[in-house]
Structure 1
Amino acid sequence: MSDAHVASAPVAAHSRNPVAWTAEMVRPSADAGEGTQASFLRKEFDLAEIAGNERLLISAQGLYRAFVNGERVGDDVLTPGWTCYDVRLSYQTYDVAHLLRPGRNVIDIWLGDGWYRSRMMWPSSSIPNCWGDRIAAIAEIRGAGPQPIVATDASWKSGLLPVLKSGIYFGEIYDARQEGLPADAGSEVLPFDKSTLVAHETSAVRELEALPVVASFEEDGATVYDFGQNSAGYVAFTVEGAPGARVVVDHAEILDKNGRFDRASLRAAEARIEYVLKGGGPESYRPYFTFQGFRYAKVAIEGQARITSIVSVPVSSAARPTAAFTSGHPLVNRLVENTLWSLRANFIEVPTDCPQRDERLGWTGDAQVFAPTACYLNDSGTFLRKWLRDVMVDQREDGAIAHVTPDPTRLHPDILPGFYGSTGWGDVICVIPHVLYEHYGDASVLAETLPAMVKWVDFVWSISDGPVVKPPRPWGARGFTFGDWLQPSGPTVKPLPTIGDDAAATIYLYISSVLTAKAAAIVGETATAERMRERAEAVKAAFAREFVTASGRLAYDDQTSYALAIVHDLIPPEHAEAAKGYFKAAIARSDGRIGTGFIGTPALLPALVKIGERELAGRVFLQEEVPGWLYQVKKGATTIWERWDAIMPDGSTHPEGMNSYNHYAYGAVCQWLFEAVAGFRPDPEQPGFKRIVFEPTIIAPLSPVLAHHDSPAGRIEAGWTLEGDKVDYRVSVPDGAEGLLVLAPDYREVVVDGTPLAAAATGKTTSRLGPGPHEISFRIGS
């Protein structure tokens, strides 16, 4: 079979269009189970003539790769993708007319374990055969007639592949000497509910531009290649040598403090590639049914062989970037680039936490904080909506949302019980639909997810039977919460205060109640909207009683408490000024450094801007010590780290076993760069960027700033320069949209397109902006 020639491209189809399948789900009899040699299905068939409209519809339990007359079908990888396979299984449609010929034809379908059958989760809770123990395929080629030209059934033959073993965490072993094995076994029709098949709902996973080697060195008799960029994908190499010689590839994200290959962050994931040569000339290989997260590849040769070329091939569902942000600060520019690379690496069918270790799971908390940034940086609407449908599948009967989706534990509750129900994580079902609505303007996502939102809010209320949520501490207990995950604790001798689980859970109950009420109102569910508004008011009042002292200090007196409470207006007006002072004091106690974790970090800088502390927000953002966004960039990061101190100041790695150098959560700060610094955001009252709010925050060390975003309404542009106290702010409103300029009260002498703008008597100065470019100037400071 040839992978060198891309034979066809997938055809877009609507997920809700029913297909009357003739084909059956067919298992190759050659298959011996999880972790064994991969297998294939084959069928020969005759065609009198080619009509020109022939299409292949195909899916699999496991991963597949299809070939017609020896030519590969499509250029996507890791198909059919990853969903809650027992309820929703994606299928793809390809034009194949150009691959067919009059007379005898043959179709081969290669099958690998993939997410369906690979061993998933970490060793203490390892789950083999997550969604089933038998791989299989369903496929049919359709032409002009009412009956398919060929369809999977029990007449198909099967055989073994040169892929001796594959797995998502394991990697792949490929023995080229076993290419061309015969289809000498039969097949078996499996019981299968065809109503679970849905047309692929988002962009396929595809290869991105290959990354060349930027450096290499010898270590322990092997060659370590540095591709200069941490990414998710695989190596592709060409090798020459003797039959039976072996190429063994290990992967790592970093080098240790002594410059040695360090794969500790992969934990128990073997992430290993082995290729056995057939000999006789140059041989090129890249994996078929797996991917790794890595920057470095360590290649050992066993026997007589030599690598003649090698590259790193990133793969991603996020192949359409839709934004850029640059400033006068090189470390900030690299931070944005790092965030985009973490998005690419973790948007592989599912928004995952990391692409390298024995996890790679669709953690709901990570996705909910990062979704707005994702929607700026990439066309993420269909990707996240597809995933939300799986979130709803994994929602438990009592309304609890799974910690990860697709959830391997749902069908195996005996292995890891209670893996659901955390506030901040489960709130994804309320947060992301609103993000999608505001960014893309389609209210149907709210209608589709509203019942799940209501179930979730009712579940959280039920944890403590009231508005103040008191989550239990034990992992797996009903209502357990991760809280502000990985919040830095400060010096060991004098730890900094952190938000309590009860405060974090109560704040998120308020957030989700408000969002559910808004969604219900938008889609016309007035009774639900009213009930959720009443609930939100009850939670707000309870929060003030429980967590706001008479002096205006919050109970836990930490950065996350203040940031979230300020952003979501949970502090009573009479305590607002005092709370601002306590908030600033909390930042001063940490020497102006970040004191927030996964849920607090996205709110930290917006909260400071909201209380008028723009300069302090800039100092917190730009400080270069740990914990800080720019610290990791200075340490050579090319993606976002899971921990603020994943690499310590002395160059050693964090001592905990849970370490990742490709986690996008803290990259959520890029939302602030677009919305506050560049200063544009969608107006929720006119979603889909039909109205764009322009409200820049001038952070002097960032000048000049330039950003754009390709929104559904068209390209939005905004940028500013600062000279002395004068700001020149240039924006562009796309045709068919309108802009609303909003300037802080202390931005004075405002001129819009050559016309002075009178300052507002109180509050912020505003001005309408029509389509096209606009030049605005103003002065800052007193």
Structure 2
Amino acid sequence: MELAGERSFGAQKTQTSSWQAQMVRPLSDKGVERPASFLTKTFTLQGSPADSQLRISALGAYICFINGKRVGNDILTPGWTAYDQRISYQTYDVSESLVSGENTIEIWLADGWYRSQLMWGKRPIHNTWGDQIAAIAELTSGDDLVVATDESWKSGELPIRKSGIYFGEIYDARLEGGAAEQGAEVISFDTSLLVPHECKPVHELDPLASVKSWQDEEGRAIHDFGQNAGGYVAFTVIGEAGARVIVEHAEILDKDGNFYNGNLRTAECRLEYTLKGGVPESYRPHFTFQGFRYARITIEGKADVTDVKSVPISSVYPLIGSFTSGNELVNRLVENTIWSQRANFIEVPTDCPQRDERLGWTGDAQVFSSTACYLHDSHGFLTKYVRDLMADQREDGAIPHVSPDPTRMRPDLYPGFFGSTGWGDAIEIIPHTLFLHYADEAILREALPAMVKWADFVWSISDGPIVSPPRAWGQRGFSFGDWLQPKGPSAKPLPTISDEASATIYLYICTDLVSQIAKRVGENEIAKRMAEMAAKVRSAFQDEFITPSGRVGGDDQTSYALAVVHDLVPEDKLDGVRKHFRNAIARCGGRIGTGFIGTPALLPALVKLGELGLAQQMFLQEEVPGWLYQVKRGATTIWERWDAIQEDGSIFNPQMNSYNHYAYGAVCQWLFEAVAGFSPTAENPGFEEIVFSPVILPELAPVSARHTSKRGDIAASWTLSASTVTYDVAVPAESRGVLRLRPEYSNATVDGEAVDASSDVLLSPGSHKVTFEIAPLREGLDVAAPSNNTP
């Protein structure tokens, strides 16, 4: 039911009738990549400023000041959404900024995500959602409207001479305090597009000091902040008026130790600051961010930078999950994943924070969503993202490759940038993750129609249960397959999963999961139809892609991993599958042979088959491709490619090489759920019920993990003495625990009393000490690595 004065968007409703302000643009604005502008108004407040609130949003990015004091400390407001469908607004208590009598409000406006360049350099998109920056704001005191944007406001240019998400920012401090010499114009705007900001705003995190500084051959200062992050450089400088400070950014040094930013492609990622002179001046950018560990500072003229630091920013904070083991490389891998999430969870779950991309890739987000929820509270953040997916969904049900989707506005430049299996499946996988972690049934109900449309779209690609995606980009149903899967030695490339097999597996994942979701929310007819589709896909997959001897798909690691994890292998084929899976790993020299969609399933599949020794061996091997290889190479975030820096220290092709991509960090879900051994259940979600089922890998001992859930703190840790495991767990007061030991574990006790290890054991809230015996692990593989196992 849609009520008068409201806009319905799924289950979300937004009051719109109370907006009295108008959207106004500064007449001083000269267009994209030109100087930023401000809008200003002097007004009188009668009576006390107590209980005063400001509601504000913009087309573009904004910062607001009242009487010269910044309103709030949020960054990159109003945020990034599918602006033609929905725009966030923020509400601030501004009582302490106001005075009784005359006041001044000033709104700074810049291009932001709204109209600065998006997409990569060969086909950049400018003015994606519009070519005019504008603001809407209204300030109330109690129930009274004090001031609102309208045509009476004035405008002028800011010292920000150019800004862009990819470009950076140019700031001329000599122009501070410019006069408002032009007016403002009311523009047509539908206030029903405005929605309250749905997640935590972007904030600054603790700054990072330089851990090492030096000068290059040209005398430029290079600072190493010790950590790759998404954020910006802040500095203090003193010097003469007109001197310039230029800051460039990089994630790595090349093999010779030189500053290297070739992988940024056409993103300039630079800051330029011109001094007003005479006093110490502190600067940090206003409407942009970079992805970097290193900063190179060039000074033109007479000036001295007296302080410099890296300021990370993120939408997710504080940290609510931790995992440590006896292996320091593993511990650093978890830390790297945390930093990659922070850097890429800036309004939208992006692939990377540095180059001319920074897009909300759906495939990356869906494989990482559960890890994200273990490490940081990602409830509002991912809920917002699901709504962006719904806004960007095409009429035929296709989900875009990225969201918010610039290509929807410019299909002439990027035709068919939607519809890939594994990527579009974010529409059902992420809501289900939110349900598991936060017991959010509302997001399931809200997104269900979009899930069904997606399932029907994928079925329609080939009009049946076997999906045969076209090979060419832009064609309907194109699939990325198992993106960035290693190919092995060039002389004899290793088998990889076919697009048909991966797409068909994901059609099964989708229809089976949507059936469960529909049943949960009481949509029984949908549940029945999706279950029937899933059964047809399962049967067709087994006939088409599983041989009598148990070979699956392309006889590659991803085919086996996905089929095993999602129960597509018949019981009588499991022994054959186990043998062929081990052989597929042996052909890779005991190293990883999976890409973006196969990697999260790899270790869970081996554990499910009882191959604990092989899972341990693969996880801990330290050569490329492998999780720990990049840690040994000095990575402080997760890489896009397994071989982003090759074994000889050389840099892989910079055209697609990010050093801050969280997708392979999805392995942390396995560390929490398998190695530490706790997870939520679909029957009693939100950690109302917690299953404790540890997988004991001796080479990781001792293990400890914690997670702050909505119901309280969960903890699990284990130590190993000979074959005896001591497993300590903590169940929150509002939860109940279930101890579910593996069949090969025996002689179990809970709090000193013997229990039947073959059956579930209920654990009451509080702390418990569990002991049990483990059998020796089945051995891994005795293999020699291929001479060249990189793509």
**TM-score higher than 0.5 here?**
yes
Q: Distance in 2 between matches of 1:504 and 1:497?
A: 13
Secondary structure at 1:93 match in 2: strand
Work out which of the residue numbers 416, 425, 433 in structure 1 matches 2:423: 425
The residue number in structure 2 matching 1:781 is 775
Matched, 1:215 2:208: no
Q: Deviations over 1:404-453 (max 9, x none)?
A: 00000111111111000000000000101100000000211100000000
TM-score, structure 2 normalization: 0.96
Task: Give the partner amino acid of 2:69.
Answer: E
State which drifts further: 46-55 or 578-587: 46-55
Q: Deviations over 1:55-93 (max 9, x none)?
A: 000000000000000000001100000000111000000
State the Cα distance separating 1:555 from its structure 2 match.
3.2
State the Cα distance separating 1:683 from its structure 2 match.
1.1
The residue number in structure 2 matching 1:192 is 189
State the Cα distance separating 1:712 from its structure 2 match.
1.2
Matched, 1:487 2:485: yes
State which drifts further: 649-658 or 747-756: 649-658
Q: Distance in 2 between matches of 1:755 and 1:18?
A: 61
State the Cα distance separating 1:164 from its structure 2 match.
0.2
The residue number in structure 2 matching 1:231 is 229
Secondary structure at 1:638 match in 2: coil
Task: Give the partner amino acid of 1:74.
Answer: G
Task: Give the partner amino acid of 2:769.
Answer: E
Q: Which residues of 2 match residues 151-550 of structure 1 at below 5 A?
A: 151-219=148-216, 220-550=218-548
Matched, 1:150 2:144: no
Secondary structure at 1:76 match in 2: coil
The residue number in structure 1 matching 2:675 is 677
The residue number in structure 2 matching 1:10 is none
Q: Distance in 2 between matches of 1:33 and 1:373?
A: 41
Q: Distance in 1 between matches of 2:741 and 2:123?
A: 53
Q: Distance in 2 between matches of 1:441 and 1:241?
A: 57
Q: Distance in 1 between matches of 2:677 and 2:356?
A: 39
Work out which of the residue numbers 614, 619, 622 in structure 2 matches 1:621: 619
Q: Distance in 1 between matches of 2:680 and 2:553?
A: 34
Q: Distance in 2 between matches of 1:653 and 1:741?
A: 47
Q: Distance in 2 between matches of 1:530 and 1:708?
A: 38
Q: Deviations over 1:2-35 (max 9, x none)?
A: xxxxxxxxxxxx9734451110000000000000
Q: Distance in 1 between matches of 2:344 and 2:254?
A: 24
Q: Distance in 1 between matches of 2:608 and 2:329?
A: 25
State the Cα distance separating 1:124 from its structure 2 match.
1.8
Q: Which residues of 2 match residues 581-620 of structure 1 at below 5 A?
A: 581-620=579-618
Structure 1 residues without counterparts, runs of 5 or longer:
1-13
State which drifts further: 54-63 or 649-658: 649-658
The residue number in structure 2 matching 1:645 is 643
The residue number in structure 1 matching 2:783 is none
Secondary structure at 1:604 match in 2: helix
Secondary structure at 1:20 match in 2: coil
User: Is 2:553–2:560's contact at 8 Å kept on the other side of the alignment?
Assistant: no
Q: Distance in 2 between matches of 1:340 and 1:619?
A: 24
Task: Give the partner amino acid of 1:492.
Answer: S
Q: Distance in 1 between matches of 2:562 and 2:726?
A: 32
Secondary structure at 1:687 match in 2: coil
Q: Deviations over 1:443-484 (max 9, x none)?
A: 111000000000000000000000000000000000000000
State which drifts further: 320-329 or 345-354: 320-329
Secondary structure at 2:512 match in 1: helix
The residue number in structure 1 matching 2:8 is none
TM-score, structure 1 normalization: 0.97
Task: Give the partner amino acid of 1:600.
Answer: G
Work out which of the residue numbers 761, 774, 777 in structure 2 matches 1:767: 761
Secondary structure at 2:574 match in 1: helix
Q: Deviations over 1:618-653 (max 9, x none)?
A: 110000000000000000000000000000011111
Matched, 1:751 2:786: no
Q: Distance in 1 between matches of 2:418 and 2:574?
A: 35
Task: Give the partner amino acid of 1:156.
Answer: W
State the Cα distance separating 1:655 from its structure 2 match.
2.5
User: Is 1:15–1:200's contact at 8 Å kept on the other side of the alignment?
Assistant: no
Work out which of the residue numbers 530, 555, 558 in structure 2 matches 1:557: 555
Q: Distance in 1 between matches of 2:476 and 2:220?
A: 49
The residue number in structure 2 matching 1:8 is none
State the Cα distance separating 1:144 from its structure 2 match.
1.9
User: Is 2:14–2:195's contact at 8 Å kept on the other side of the alignment?
Assistant: yes
State the Cα distance separating 1:48 from its structure 2 match.
2.3
Q: % of aligned pairs identical?
A: 62
Q: Distance in 2 between matches of 1:177 and 1:772?
A: 62
The residue number in structure 2 matching 1:97 is 95
Q: Distance in 2 between matches of 1:25 and 1:534?
A: 50
Q: Deviations over 1:660-696 (max 9, x none)?
A: 0000000000000000000000011100000000000
Structure 1 residues 387 and 759 mapped into 2: Cα distance closer, same or farther (>3 Å)? closer
State the Cα distance separating 1:759 from its structure 2 match.
4.0
Q: Which residues of 2 match residues 12-27 of structure 1 at below 5 A?
A: 16-18=14-16, 20-27=18-25
Task: Give the partner amino acid of 1:679.
Answer: G
State the Cα distance separating 1:321 from its structure 2 match.
1.3
Secondary structure at 1:124 match in 2: coil
State the Cα distance separating 1:656 from its structure 2 match.
4.9
The residue number in structure 1 matching 2:3 is none
Q: Deviations over 1:310-351 (max 9, x none)?
A: 000000001121111011100000000000000000000000
State the Cα distance separating 1:49 from its structure 2 match.
1.6
User: Is 1:15–1:201's contact at 8 Å kept on the other side of the alignment?
Assistant: no
- Number of residue-to-residue matches in the alignment: 764
State the Cα distance separating 1:745 from its structure 2 match.
1.2
Work out which of the residue numbers 717, 720, 734 in structure 2 matches 1:719: 717
The residue number in structure 2 matching 1:5 is none
Q: Distance in 2 between matches of 1:425 and 1:493?
A: 31
Q: Distance in 1 between matches of 2:84 and 2:392?
A: 11
State which drifts further: 342-351 or 490-499: 490-499
Matched, 1:665 2:656: no
Q: Distance in 2 between matches of 1:606 and 1:241?
A: 59
Following TM superposition, the consecutive aligned residue runs of length 4 or more in structure 1 with deviations greater than 2 angstroms are 14-19
Q: Distance in 2 between matches of 1:262 and 1:158?
A: 41
Structure 2 residues without counterparts, runs of 5 or longer:
1-11, 777-791
Secondary structure at 1:132 match in 2: coil
